[in-house]
Amino acid sequence: MSFFPLPILHALGLLFGWLALLRPRHAALLRENLDKAGLRGQVSLAAVGAGLGQSLMELVAIWLQPLATVTGWVREVEGLEHLHAVHGTGKGVVLLCPHQACWEIAGIWYGAQFPMTALYRPPKQPWVHHLMKAGRERGHIVTVPPDRSGVKALLAALKRGEAAFILPDQSANSGDGVWASFFGGPVYFPVLPYRLAALPDVAVLLVVCERLPWGRGYRLRFERLDPMPKSIEAAVAHTAARMERHIRHKPAHYLWSYRLFRLHGNAPPPPDNLLEAAA
């Protein structure tokens, strides 16, 4: 299936995503997250399910197709001037990519041209881990686990003037996160991207992916986020607002199956002002 044309993969993904909505728990989770984000009236459950199905079907092709084929699926790139401006300075780049559409191809497209170290969480299945590593570690990409050794590798990459690729819209573990408003609700975001962004001689870019209609490929949008606010809390809120703006533009493309809005039992409680805003 990985060698099917992209339009066929996206058509199959649409059907698979609709079938997956027949699972009550899956459909209930999507409804819950869309309700918390206040988007139930703006995007249909069918559109969100189709996007999730497409994200699954396109993944194997992106990992297994030749690198030139995969990068060629990126048909449009907005904000190239930000890339040129950053790479002309020799600064390290903290590259933040939310779970929008095909975030995999955003990292692979960048890493095909520029050196990049990316955090990743190893999957439980060894065969999936093998496919993931082989599919991602191409071009100028190195992947590292989210532990102390991985953080050291990110720091070393930034000192060399390279990029550190991180998904910022994940749920942080206890002790390494801060609460911020996201779609009006409290989310416990990781602080690592913003500690890296506070280093000297580091630029911060946001890259967001969109699927083009009828399987025509993808559009990437680059946006410069620095200078970031000095406090971690303000930097997280600044980035969350930028991510939310892009996601609202194409809400069906977001990973609404992720439990981003959950309240962690092992994390400090969210501030009262965020809880009041969500209520």
pTM: 0.94
How far is CA 154 from each of CA 86, 111, 142, rounded to the nearest angstrom?
18, 14, 10
- Asked if residue 41 has pLDDT above 90, the reply is no
Residue 277's pLDDT band (boundaries 50, 70, 90)? low
What does the domain layout of the chain look like in residue ranges? 74-278
Residue 114's pLDDT band (boundaries 50, 70, 90)? very high
Residue 221 phi/psi, 5° resolution? -120, 120
Average pLDDT of the chain to the nearest whole number: 93
Candidates 26, 23, 47, 43; CA nearest to 35 is: 43
Q: What is the largest CA-CA distance in the chain?
A: 52
Q: At what angle do helices 126-136 and 45-64 cross, to 10 degrees?
A: 70
Candidates 42, 31, 29; CA nearest to 248 is: 42
CB atoms within 10 A of CB 278: 17
